Amino acid sequence: MLDIKFVRNNPEAVKENIKKKFQDAKLPLVDEVLALDIRNREIKQEVEALRAEKNKISKEIGALMAKGQKEEAEAVKEKVSINADRIEELSVEEKEVEGKIKEKMMIIPQIIDPSVPIGKDDSENVEIEKFGEPIVPDFDIPYHIDIMESFNGIDLDSARRVAGNGFYYLMGDIARLHSSVLSYARDFMINRGFTYCVPPFMIRSDVVTGVMSFAEMDAMMYKIEGEDLYLIGTSEHSMIGKFIDTTSDEEQLPFTLTSYSPCFRKEKGAHGLEERGVYRIHQFEKQEMIVVCKPEESKKWYDVLWKNTVDLFRSLDVPVRTLECCSGDLADLKVKSCDVEAWSPRQKKYFEVGSCSNLGDAQARRLGIKVKGADKEKYLAHTLNNTVAAPPRMLIAFLENNLNEDGTVNIPEVLQPYMGGTKKLVPIK
């Protein structure tokens, strides 16, 4: 959410930003907010004048009563009553106007970073850099479900009977591999100085609206019936929510946290949930990283975060690339974002396995995350997040890139301690 003062002083810049995001339907919101802002300030000025007049009249009443002029004092009291009624009327209107301003401001997108490429959707995202040589072996790579089934490692049919499409049972070596990757990702981030955290897996509505746009909320979140609680779609939600309505001393920053959680997503409008695969699913587990920092340090931390993911995947012998998200592919709260994509030898192309985002002060403004500087002045923090590893997509990339022609799967050296020393998985079928 933008600062109303910024919108007031830079309406054309806000409109231009909306155009860059190809959201022209939101352009009228700027003028609507400005008109409401004018009315809000008029109300405040009138209330202030009425209260000043009330104080003045109160003194007059006291003076008249002291002189024994009770009739004159009663007449003046009537005027005080009229002013009090007007103040009450204006206070009700003020609350309504401020509610409308907030509602519209929550929809106006954050100002994107000047470095963001302009484009309508993800088809216009820009490749930044490749890491590792993408190899296509001289043997056919089976579909990821077939690889998993060769180890008796997945059961989609039972999951479909129990929970429906978009769920799965992981079994045996594949289940152990899944847990090992998450444990390795946890320790990888701890070794890079991040504090490990297991957060709440449900959050209240004020946290939900603080960390994401209404459109994202509708497409992703599962609500607990009869409760003001939502299942998290990623631990970033509850991790950023940890700092709601807090003011931290500047010397405490940055907060660098890595968190494990299950994730639950409706995947509304997503295609392929009924397909025989686990690219898009309703439930998965993830290791995440978040940073709360000073504004001038967020660009530095943005680069640190996406490089962490690249380094993790390369340590597991998975080639990756980074893509700069264009303006039309940025969620409304994001200032800048890039995707990390892993190489798929079977598809002979890259696919998304993580996303790194700098949200500037958008989440901090909504959630009231403040910093107190050395001069005792308070300002809004910046927040960032990035995926460390999110099986089962991460498993797809791992299995395809470490598969041998005989169906065995190599376990990279860094992962072997988490697999009980196993160096190679051998298929059962």
Q: Provide the pLDDT for residue 271.
A: 54
Looking at domain 4-105, does it have CATH number 1.20.120.80?
no
Its pTM stands at 0.90
Q: Amino acid identity, residue 80?
A: V
- Using the predicted structure, report yes or no on whether residue 345 has a pLDDT greater than 90: yes
Q: Provide the pLDDT for residue 216.
A: 83
**pLDDT tens for residues 83-130?**
888 999 999 999 999 999 999 999 999 999 999 999 999 999 999 999
Contacts of 232 (CB under 8 A, 6+ apart): 199, 200, 201, 202, 203, 238, 261, 263, 264
Of residues 209, 217, 193, 385, the one with CA closest to residue 287? 385
Helix (H) or strand (E) holding 161: helix 156-163
Contact at 8 Å (CB) between 29 and 2? no
* CA gap 225, 330 in Å, rounded: 30
Q: Provide the pLDDT for residue 31.
A: 98
Compute how many other C-beta atoms are within 10 angstroms of the C-beta atom of residue 381.
29
At residue 126, φ and ψ (nearest 5 deg) are: -115, 125
Of residues 246, 249, 245, the one with CA closest to residue 377? 249
**pLDDT tens for residues 231-251?**
999 999 999 999 999 999 999
Contacts of 83 (CB under 8 A, 6+ apart): 50, 53, 54, 57
Per CATH, 4-105 and 122-425 having the same topology is answered no
Contact at 8 Å (CB) between 321 and 130? yes
Length of the chain in terms of residues written: 429
* CA gap 206, 355 in Å, rounded: 24
Q: Which residue has the higher pLDDT, 78 or 252?
A: 252
Cis? peptide before 254, omega within 30° of 0: yes
Q: Amino acid identity, residue 390?
A: A
Chain centroid, CA 279 distance in Å: 20
Contacts of 207 (CB under 8 A, 6+ apart): 237, 238, 241, 244, 367
C-alpha distances (whole Å) from 306 to each of 77, 171, 357 are 67, 31, 9
At residue 349, φ and ψ (nearest 5 deg) are: -160, 170
Of residues 213, 246, 260, 250, the one with CA closest to residue 103? 213
Q: Where are the domains of the chain?
A: 4-105, 122-425
Q: Provide the pLDDT for residue 273.
A: 47
* CA gap 335, 325 in Å, rounded: 10
Share of the chain above pLDDT 70, in %: 96
At residue 232, φ and ψ (nearest 5 deg) are: -70, 145
pLDDT tier at 193 (50, 70, 90 boundaries)?
Answer: very high
CA angle 342–346–351, rounded 5-degree value: 25
* CA gap 292, 240 in Å, rounded: 8
Q: Provide the pLDDT for residue 269.
A: 54
DSSP letter for each residue of 249-275: EGGGPPEEEEEEEEEE---TT-S-TTS
**pLDDT tens for residues 47-78?**
999 888 877 877 777 776 777 776 676 676 77
Average pLDDT, the chain: 93
C-alpha distances (whole Å) from 135 to each of 253, 357, 401 are 42, 29, 8
Q: What is the CA radius of gyration of the chain?
A: 28
* CA gap 139, 398 in Å, rounded: 17
CA angle 401–407–413, rounded 5-degree value: 50
Q: Count Cα atoms within 13 angstroms, Cβ side, for 311.
A: 12
Both tokens of 115, joined, read: 């470095």
End-to-end CA distance of the chain: 54
pLDDT tier at 304 (50, 70, 90 boundaries)?
Answer: very high
Contacts of 37 (CB under 8 A, 6+ apart): 4, 7, 8, 101
pLDDT tier at 213 (50, 70, 90 boundaries)?
Answer: confident
* CA gap 2, 109 in Å, rounded: 8
Pick the CATH number of 122-425 from 3.30.930.10, 3.90.1150.10, 1.20.140.10, 3.90.700.10: 3.30.930.10
Contact at 8 Å (CB) between 257 and 195? yes
**pLDDT tens for residues 219-228?**
889 999 999 9
* CA gap 153, 348 in Å, rounded: 24
